[in-house]
Amino acid sequence: MRLNGEISYVRDEEENENDSVALISLPPPPLQKLVVGYALTSKKVNSFLQPKLEGLAKKKGIVFVAIDLSQPLVDQGPFDIVLHKLTGKEWQQILQDYWEKHPEVTVLDPPAAIQHLYNRQSMLQDVANLNLSDCYGKVGTPRQLVITKDPSSIPDAVSKAGLTLPLVAKPLVVDGSAKSHELSLAYDEFSLSKLDPPLVLQEFVNHGGVLFKVYIVGEAIKVVRRFSLPDVSKRELLNNTGVFRFPRVSCAAASADDAELDPSIAELPPRPLLEKLARELRLRLGLRLFNIDIIREHGTRDRFYVIDINYFPGKWSLLFIQYSHPFKLMKCSLYLLSHSFLSIMCQFISSF
């Protein structure tokens, strides 16, 4: 068989070997359609379904169909994949019931697994339990403390836990709102009582003001740099008091990929270490579509901390989709741009 679609065949097994071989040019097989039903917020739809993405997907036989939330999900479709990012117990139950009736459908990702990332108390537990360390470096999590109520008790709780100031305060619940990604930096013990529970307190680790966002789509990995909170010197810690509030610091506008940085700060984490971390977290979290925020402790080369994990992050760019068989394996090659973003498509394995 030739790669250009021409097929050679022998008309009769008993024909002389010197006889000519007939060639028939066959048209390529029709592209089998893959239907992706999506249930996303309007904001997510606007950032995700860009014309370039839809056009590229259409060429590959991928069709996006909006799921009508006012109608029973079982009456819609049929879908090959359900891609979603909605919160709420009602939607989780709807999707779970649908999946039980249609186990052949690929759901990205299971609602129960996603729920694990909506709480910062449980979000990093799998990383802490992993305690990854090999010849390429060590990956852990900052020490942290969960405060659910009574701000006046925070200083005493921090003292008992042995946490070191300054502390980063993050909302306990991640609900997709801008507020859930806001940070506060508390410099002194007395200011801790001004915080607003429920929250998570993390020890601040100096990291050169740069964090690495590791995007994971199935087995595909892409890393980009983002500006982060600046380092805090001992002098600043002694001279500063109070709580300083910051908006979301690792957004796309804060790209550090083209900035002139100290090579020791800008150097990306070792690829083998990231691949091992991503593989382990995919298994432990049960997710295939997420990103990890990682920092490197300033002054070290191989000491890394995971400080956040997000499901189906929005600021991704898909420039190329390739799949070897539409109903066996889809591979996505992701290339993220520094200043312009489209969205993402997923890597998944489905059997039909």
Judge whether 325 is annotated as a binding position.
no
Judge whether 286 is annotated as a binding position.
no
Question: Which residue's entry shows tokens 């900035």?
Answer: 259
Predicted local confidence at residue 108, as pLDDT: 85
Judge whether 52 is annotated as a binding position.
no
Q: Looking at the chain, how many residues does it have?
A: 352
Judge whether 88 is annotated as a binding position.
no
Residue 18 clears pLDDT 80, i.e. is over it: no
Judge whether 249 is annotated as a binding position.
no
Predicted local confidence at residue 28, as pLDDT: 61
Judge whether 228 is annotated as a binding position.
yes
Predicted local confidence at residue 5, as pLDDT: 33
Contact (Cβ atoms closer than 8 angstroms) between residue 230 and residue 247:
no
More confident residue, 25 or 268: 268
Nearest to 293 by CA among 307, 303, 272, 313: 307
Judge whether 213 is annotated as a binding position.
yes
The tokens of 325 are what?
Answer: 């068989």
Contacts of 42 (CB under 8 A, 6+ apart): none
Predicted local confidence at residue 337, as pLDDT: 25
Judge whether 208 is annotated as a binding position.
yes
Lowest-pLDDT range, 9-18, 47-56, 176-185, 298-307? 9-18
Predicted local confidence at residue 249, as pLDDT: 60
- Which regions of the chain does DSSP assign to beta strands (E)? 6-9, 22-25, 34-39, 62-66, 81-84, 106-108, 132-134, 137-140, 144-147, 167-171, 183-186, 199-203, 210-217, 220-227, 243-246, 289-296, 303-311, 320-325, 329-333, 348-349
Judge whether 202 is annotated as a binding position.
yes
Judge whether 204 is annotated as a binding position.
yes
The tokens of 130 are what?
Answer: 């992993």
The rounded mean pLDDT for the chain is 78
Predicted local confidence at residue 215, as pLDDT: 87
Residues 273-319: pLDDT tens digits? 999 999 999 999 999 889 999 999 999 999 999 999 998 876 543 32
Angle at 217 between CA 79 and CA 63, to 5 degrees: 30
Judge whether 37 is annotated as a binding position.
no
Predicted local confidence at residue 247, as pLDDT: 67
Query: Residue type for 195, please?
Result: L
Question: What single DSSP character describes residue 15?
Answer: S
Judge whether 162 is annotated as a binding position.
no
Q: Distance (Å, rounded) from C-alpha 272 to C-alpha 274?
A: 5
Q: For residue 320, what are the β-bridge partners?
A: 333
Q: Distance (Å, rounded) from C-alpha 137 to C-alpha 125?
A: 19
The tokens of 349 are what?
Answer: 């394995």
Q: How is the chain split among helix, strand and coil, in percent rounded to 5?
A: 30, 30, 45
Judge whether 306 is annotated as a binding position.
no
**Pairing relation of β-strands 329-333 and 167-171?**
unpaired
290 CB-contact burial (10 Å; exposed 0-12 / middle 13-18 / buried 19+): buried
Output the pTM of the full model: 0.79
Judge whether 184 is annotated as a binding position.
no
Residues 312-345: pLDDT tens digits? 876 543 322 222 223 333 333 323 222 222 233 4
Phi-psi region of 22 (alpha: psi -120 to 50; beta: other; left: phi over 0): beta
Judge whether 227 is annotated as a binding position.
no
- Tell me the Cα Rg of the chain: 25
Lowest-pLDDT range, 19-33, 209-223, 236-250? 19-33
CA separation (Å) from 170 to 23, 40, 133, 156, 258? 68, 25, 27, 19, 28
Judge whether 239 is annotated as a binding position.
no
Full DSSP string of 140-196 = E---EEEE-S-GGGHHHHHHHHTPPSSEEEEESB--SSSGGG-EEEE-STGGGGGS-
Residues 192-203: pLDDT tens digits? 999 999 999 999
Judge whether 170 is annotated as a binding position.
yes
